[in-house]
Structure 1
């Protein structure tokens, strides 16, 4: 039988172990420093604006852009779901990640899990699910670091009537982030396109830097549709992209590549497109599409061998994508 003193010591040791396990390690670059440092504590929250780290006596606020790495403990289902997604088992990944979401008590980790689910939704061409899950992210973090994988329309995409109907209510609502998502989806809609364009024009003046920049970039799609892309346009587009954080560049970068394509500048189009799979690869759908487009541009320019290499890479890296099926047909010569 354990003595009262032994029970007390055991409890203290157990508490110490739990406390040690709960400690997070955050590596970040302090303002004006040449090398990063690591701080230890409990991450209270991590948004697109800042990370809050609770220490022994206070809460330290670290700008999100300066955070380089977080070491923390994750639910087993979180790790398993991420692994399943990497292996290409998308359905199982979604099921496992939703279980992790039920167990995870930390809001900032919930958003990380949701960002993985959004990627999985998009893999399955579930635009409605992606919009719903992304909405859950931006409800608590409007400046989310996940905007780079948001279900916005950058490349050609089929939109169901039910999604269009849902987006009409979002467009008319008062939540600006939802307005951007809705305007993106409805921009080329025959019935709602003009209202969507007006909403994007208004959002270009928004004080929220992501909403403003992405609204400007979404309007580029009209220039592409009208095939009116000037040298000044391309210079302005490139300037906006260079001012964006890297994780937010995939969509605008893709449109830049299409700008060169409509001008008949095929090699330049391929060069700009290849930034996505090799540098801005977090947005998988766009990275896959960019590989296909780059292959097409190079093939039309007479670089057949190079285009075949890109088609094979697309099939190998993104076998689940619609673009992989098109790439296979290009490799086999059936189209």
Structure 2
């Protein structure tokens, strides 16, 4: 009887409701060269700032050049973040069934940049169930362009994020679930016709995307959230197609939106002002790089970009 009152106090005070959330980042192999597709550096930077946001998240980064060598590390995760090269090299391609078991427990999933692309067929079908959408070859495209996000939705993932524009390899014309069921766009913009000047190819151009952008003038969704159903224990997904240029993690709005998205997939209540995203500096951005520095991304250029994201041109 003596134990009842302390337990009731803990429940009424929200002790159990505010239990720490575990987020696991899976960082893929090194890829494109210095300051591009920096999976480890990007994951460690995001992990650092989501831990410092003081919202009850403890994250960790797995750097096994692919799927975790010790998969049990994912068993008690509240959300998993995948930042890796995709397509035929995607680290989930050979682990679909075992990963589906995790997803059916309601574990969240966030995929960043190339991590949203998997082959059409079984991988793509699973991504529609887990994430609500994915990059499908001969349907989606991957140009570099300045996206202007002038309107943001009334959604927790957009909390505290101001309108912004930024240059990235924003994939668009994603393959979403039928009728966008369960999917809520977070970042949308209308690409210019210049983004469709390349010849037709698996990633470059196709008649479907030209009809959508040039003929119908449809805004393209480059970040979205997905609410799964009861068959997946109400799990959540977050897709974000930016993240090619490592320097963009220095943008407060860009970074805050992704931190919000990851926290949302862990079923955390997002503060009205969004997660505290800190201030990223040159030291933060140049840490944990896969490749030696290069003249293309000199310290001077990085500082210039940090000072003015709205007018940057890569």
Please give the TM-score of this superposition, normalised by the length of structure 2. Answer: 0.33
The structure whose Rg is larger is 1
Higher strand share: 2
Greater RCO, 1 or 2 (C-alpha within 8 Å, sep 6+): 2
Higher helix share: 1
